Amino acid sequence: RWGAIPPFSPTGKATRRLPNLRGGAMTEIAKGVSFDTVAREWRMKWSPDADKASLVKAQEALDEVLTEVKAIPGVKSVQRVVCGGCLDFKVVTSLEADKFGDWEGSEFSPEKKFLEKVKGIDGISFVETQTYTLMPM
């Protein structure tokens, strides 16, 4: 789906490449809306029950794949987001846009292994993924 640049066209129309001051080229998906980073998010809800045991186990599952995720070619960052109010646990892996298609081609490995692990944790629910562009403003 993302494949070669341009990887994102919500209208089905061609996108265009722009110079980027951060190095590399930007892809413009609409006038004034450009990007050079694509992120994949793994998200779920955890339970505060049993002294937040599901949160602890979700972190342990992330720790098991973190080295592998950081080694994906083109990775810019891996961030973990935890909200104690809405009980979110999220992992956001951002890549150079022109490398994202390769990761997608590998089915986002190790995504399947991580998601299967967290789906088996008591207290984890609403396990989802999402892909989006990510840019500092």
Residues 83-105: tens digit of each pLDDT: 999 999 999 999 999 999 999 99
pTM of the predicted structure, to 2 decimals: 0.83
Is residue 130's pLDDT more than 60? yes
Cα–Cα distance between 43 and 80 in angstroms, integer?
10
Amino acid 16: pLDDT: 55
> pLDDT tier at 118 (50, 70, 90 boundaries)?
very high
**In degrees rounded to 5, what are phi and psi of residue 85?**
-85, -50
Query: Given this model, what pLDDT does residue 26 score?
Result: 87
Model pLDDT, residue 23: 53
Contact 6, 98 (CB under 8 A): no
Q: Which residue has the tokens 């998906």?
A: 29
Among 105, 110, 118, 116, CA closest to 93: 110
Sequence-distant contacts of 71-77: CB under 8 A, at least 24 apart? 72/99, 72/103, 73/99, 73/102, 73/103, 74/98, 74/99, 74/100, 74/102, 74/103, 76/37
Res 72 pLDDT > 60: yes
Question: What span, in angstroms and rounded, lies between the C-alpha atoms of 122 and 127?
Answer: 12
Percentage of the chain exceeding pLDDT 70: 82
Per-residue pLDDT, 49 = 98
The pLDDT of residue 131 is above 50: yes
**Mean model confidence pLDDT for the chain:** 88
